[in-house]
Amino acid sequence: MTYRVCLVCMGNICRSPMAEVVLRATLAEHGLDEVQVDSAGTGDWHVGGPMDQRAAQTLAEHGYDGSAHRARQFTGDWFARYDLVLAMDTANLRTLRRLAPAGQEVRLFRSFDPSAPAEAEVPDPYYGGQDGFDEVLRQVKAASEGLAKHLADELR
């Protein structure tokens, strides 16, 4: 059985692709090979383009490879493909909830980080400096660990 997760931000070039790469590696470390991870954006500005260079560089500096990423746009029909859809922030959470069929659960990604406050977001680093990308990486690593533990309990 395959379990599918989609991580969603605004343009799918910074936060959600970083989270996709980190979550995929974290799940592999936990032996959760049955979980597939994708990412997408709610907007279409960057569709087909690579990950933001700063995001890719931050990942590379920590041993992750984001070079294969190409931005995609999440649309309402995607809900049928995924068991879990996770938003990086409340603005994208609202957008996803408007697109979602009745009864579809959509959550914030950081809700899986036990050290994060309720309604914690992964902030958009796009208009800031390198420290924003470093913070995003720290946050997605923590949420990825929490999600991996959750899925290990849920799927086993």
Return the axis-axis angle of helices 130-155 and 53-61, rounded to nearest 10°.
70
Percent of the chain with pLDDT over 90: 97
Confidence of residue 7 (pLDDT cuts 50, 70, 90): very high
Burial class, 143, CB count within 10 angstroms (exposed 0-12 / middle 13-18 / buried 19+):
buried
| E-assigned strand segments in the chain | 3-9, 35-41, 84-87, 106-108
Residue 144 clears pLDDT 90, i.e. is over it: yes
Contact 86, 6 (CB under 8 A): yes
Which residues have a catalytic role annotated? Answer: 9, 15, 124
pLDDT at 20: 98
pLDDT 10s digits, 99-125? 999 989 899 999 999 999 999 999 999
pLDDT at 11: 97
Residue 72 clears pLDDT 90, i.e. is over it: yes
Burial class, 115, CB count within 10 angstroms (exposed 0-12 / middle 13-18 / buried 19+):
exposed
Domains of the chain, first to last:
3-151 (3.40.50.2300)
pLDDT at 156: 85
> DSSP assignment of 4-39, as one string?
EEEEEESSSSSHHHHHHHHHHHHHHHTT-TTEEEEE
pLDDT 10s digits, 22-64? 999 999 999 999 999 999 999 999 999 999 999 999 999 999 9
Contact 47, 73 (CB under 8 A): yes
